[in-house]
Amino acid sequence: MSGRLKMAVILAAAVLLGCIVFFIFFPEDNILFKPIEDALFIVFGLAAGITGIYTFRKLGWRSKEGKVWLLLALGFLGWAVGEFLWLYNEVILEIEPFPSTADIAYLLAYIPLIIGLWIEYNIIKEAIVKKGLMKAVILTSIISIISAYFVLVPIITATDYDLLSKIVSLSYPIGDLLILFPALIFIFVFKGAKMSRSWLFIAIALLLEVIADSSFAYLDWNELYSGTYLILTDLAWLAGYALFAFGAYYHSLIIKGEA
């Protein structure tokens, strides 16, 4: 492991440890909790997006891989914009941030993410063995059924929410499922070689984002998003951002032969 990679590992671990300490010991009812919580999401989202842009610049626009990294970076930057708008609505305007302008940014970010992941899928599809593909299909199906039962059906059948809230709420799990399948394939396919390891981090990062999204949708819909549930969900989101940033930086070091 190179010196730069070691520093990246230490930095990522230290930052995540700091977040864990914050969520455990900082009171949720403190007036500063929400601003700090929202600011963490902005910083982590920007870190992920900027690191992705950095990796894209190493590859260039002409390569398919370069296009993939640009699209993924734009997706994470879109989520960072959503995080900023969430903070602006919740902390500055003091209004309910859902549904809001933040959801426009969050949902639009799915477009480059999904396109980028499926381009990468087409790049590596010849290396995908049937066993790995079947595992991804089975896990995606299981998670889809769980998501439908605990998230989609309650949203569709709810009578105390307007149509806009339902449409926005349903859009997230649908977008997540479109991310989930290629992410699971990458987890089963990318292993062993250095270049594969960096993509493994990206795949796990996306899986964490999907888990956090689904958890939030269920918890928020049932008014349970607080305490331990809030801590675990927020840490999954932040860990997803951090792992993507680390995976992108790791990939850039591999490209330069410094990993």
pLDDT one-digit tens code per residue, 12-23: 899 999 999 999
Share of the chain above pLDDT 70, in %: 95
Burial of residue 44 (CB within 10 Å: 0-12, 13-18, 19+) is: buried
pLDDT for the residue 152: 86
- What residues make up the domain containing 87? 3-255
Supply the CATH number for residue 150's domain.
Answer: 1.20.1070
The residue-averaged pLDDT of 230-258 equals 91
The residue-averaged pLDDT of 181-197 equals 73
User: 160 — phi, psi (to 5°)?
Assistant: -100, 20
Say how many domains are in the chain. 1
DSSP code for 60: -
Nearest to 142 by CA among 214, 228, 70, 59: 214
- Cis amide linkage into residue 99, ω under 30° from 0: yes
Q: Which of 91-95, 200-204, 214-218 has the lowest mean pLDDT?
A: 214-218
CA distances from 155 to 152, 168, 243, 246 (A): 5, 10, 31, 35
pLDDT in tens, 110-131: 999 999 999 988 888 776 667 6
Write b or e for each residue in 110-145: b if 16 or more Cβ atoms lie within 10 A of its Cβ, otherwise e: bebbbbbbbbbbeeeeeeeeeebbeebeebbeebbe
Q: Residue 151 above 90 pLDDT?
A: no
The residue-averaged pLDDT of 233-242 equals 96
pLDDT for the residue 1: 63
DSSP code for 152: I
Q: Name the band, by pLDDT with cuts 50, 70 and 90, for residue 188.
A: confident
